[in-house]
């Protein structure tokens, strides 16, 4: 779908009875359309890398809407945007938001839907004259996707202080420019980036709306679901080393073919996640063969495993079983093995109380509560290390994401806004 038809296509099937309580589907559709025009790519996708001119333009557009809605807007040295709305009382704010950057040739909903849903709540309050009991904060995070540096969640990690000086120094983008140079081009500085760490006691809770990027809600025929936890990835590098040789002259008996060993490892890996939990997953997404010649027995294979779960204990057990499998396969095929764990991010389970509150709201909206683990990382995962967080998923057509064909119906998106609004108002009423 080309960007010129996002607005029209969203409205084609929209159930206008969902326009109530100050929430307006057409406004949401119009804003999704306008964002889709920034960094537009054929056929209908977007390219808005983090800390790029396109991401900045998208933020500027949303900032103008935030100001019109009555929010006090500011931006930190990492490019994170904050919109503040005073409440009847002072104290920590209830916050919501997401990001507007994209993967190369990405879709129009991943990130923007969460940002615009958080804004639509403010618009609805403005239209109905509602003043929240507590302060409300809307946040646009910088460079969530990580397409700039191959290291995502940059803005939320800067805000929480979860990005080290050593990592800042090592970051290089697709033009081989360092973080300092990229920030200078963006209009900030490394010093301002380092000063973007904020006092998280200012936030009581953060809730993020996001497209599901999967098919569970579609299979259950429900528009909105509850995220039960955000999986923490553990990335491992597995290296099998054998002996190179001529593919024609080397007898089959006695070969030490590293690719045969790697092949068995890859084929058996999918058996392991179900042995630790029903939410664990494991994937080999990258594999390098050396010397990689058509008539040469592979001497060395380096592959990368991504293992995830929403709970730390089963995730770490899965990592241990993956290591055992690699060692077993290496011994069986007479090749050497070298294992290295490169990344280990703590999973973020969502508190049962918050899940129950969301379930009650969904039931009031005649939506069956479906709980879904998030395999992908989100800014809520970073904040969840420090403050309570919750997440809502909105149904994705065919489960497609990071693709111009990414689509969620306007009716589903607006139902997501209503659930978000009710949940935030519930938190506002807590003492």
Q: What is the set of domains in the chain, with CATH numbers?
A: 3-231+347-428 (3.40.630.10), 232-344 (3.30.70.360)
Model confidence at 3: pLDDT above 70: no
- Are the beta carbons of 307 and 326 closer than 8 angstroms? no
Model confidence at 58: pLDDT above 80: yes
Q: What is the mean pLDDT of residues 273-280?
A: 96
User: What is the C-alpha to C-alpha distance for residues 259 and 289, in angstroms, rounded to an integer?
Assistant: 7
Q: Cα–chain-centroid distance for residue 152?
A: 9
- Are the beta carbons of 149 and 158 closer than 8 angstroms? no
- Are the beta carbons of 209 and 227 closer than 8 angstroms? no
pTM of the model: 0.86
Which of these ranges, 9-13, 150-154, 186-190, 336-340, has the smallest mean pLDDT?
Answer: 150-154
Exposed (0-12), middle (13-18) or buried (19+): which is 63, by Cβ within 10 Å? Answer: middle
Beta strands in 53-143 (DSSP E): 72-75, 81-85, 93-99, 136-141
Q: Is 292 left (phi over 0), alpha (psi -120 to 50) or beta?
A: left
Counting every residue, how long is the chain? 431
pLDDT for position 1: 42
Mean pLDDT of the chain: 95
User: What is the C-alpha to C-alpha distance for residues 144 and 378, in angstroms, rounded to an integer?
Assistant: 7
């Amino acid at each position: 779908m080309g960007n010129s038809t996002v607005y029209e296509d969203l409205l084609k099937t929209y159930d206008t009875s969902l326009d109530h309580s100050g929430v307006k589907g057409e406004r949401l559709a119009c804003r999704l359309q306008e964002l889709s025009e920034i960094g537009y790519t054929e056929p209908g996708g977007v390219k808005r890398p983090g800390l790029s001119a396109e991401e900045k333009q998208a933020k500027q557009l949303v900032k103008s809407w935030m100001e019109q809605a009555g929010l006090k807007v500011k931006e930190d040295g990492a490019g994170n945007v904050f919109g503040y709305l005073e409440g009847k009382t002072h104290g920590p704010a209830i916050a919501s938001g997401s990001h507007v950057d994209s993967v190369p040739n990405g879709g129009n909903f991943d990130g923007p839907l969460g940002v615009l849903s958080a804004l639509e709540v403010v618009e609805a309050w403005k239209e109905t004259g509602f003043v929240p009991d507590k302060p409300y904060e809307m946040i646009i995070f910088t460079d969530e996707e990580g397409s700039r540096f191959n290291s995502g969640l940059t803005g939320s990690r800067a805000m929480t202080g979860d990005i080290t000086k050593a990592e800042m120094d090592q970051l290089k983008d697709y033009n081989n420019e360092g973080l300092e140079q990229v920030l200078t081009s963006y209009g900030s500085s490394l010093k301002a980036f380092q000063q973007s760490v904020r006092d998280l006691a200012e936030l009581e809770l953060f809730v993020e709306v996001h497209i599901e990027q999967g098919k569970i809600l579609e299979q259950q025929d429900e528009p909105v679901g509850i995220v039960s936890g955000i999986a923490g990835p553990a990335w491992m590098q597995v290296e099998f080393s054998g002996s190179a040789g001529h593919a024609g002259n080397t007898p089959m008996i006695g070969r030490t073919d590293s690719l045969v060993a790697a092949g068995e490892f890859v084929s058996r890996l999918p058996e392991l996640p179900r042995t630790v939990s029903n939410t664990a997953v494991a994937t080999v997404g990258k594999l390098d063969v050396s010397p990689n010649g058509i008539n040469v027995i592979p001497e060395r294979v380096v592959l990368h495993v991504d293992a995830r779960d929403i709970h730390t204990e089963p995730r770490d057990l899965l990592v241990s079983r993956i290591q055992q499998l690699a060692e077993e396969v290496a011994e069986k095929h007479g090749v050497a093995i070298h294992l290295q764990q490169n990344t280990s991010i703590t999973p973020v389970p969502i508190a049962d109380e918050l899940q129950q509150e969301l379930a009650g709201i969904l039931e009031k909206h005649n939506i069956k509560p479906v709980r879904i683990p998030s395999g992908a990382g989100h800014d809520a995962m970073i904040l969840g290390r420090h403050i309570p967080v919750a997440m809502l998923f909105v149904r994705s057509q065919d489960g497609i994401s990071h693709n111009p064909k990414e689509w969620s119906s306007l009716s589903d998106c607006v139902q997501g806004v209503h659930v978000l609004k009710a949940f935030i108002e519930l938190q506002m009423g807590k003492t």
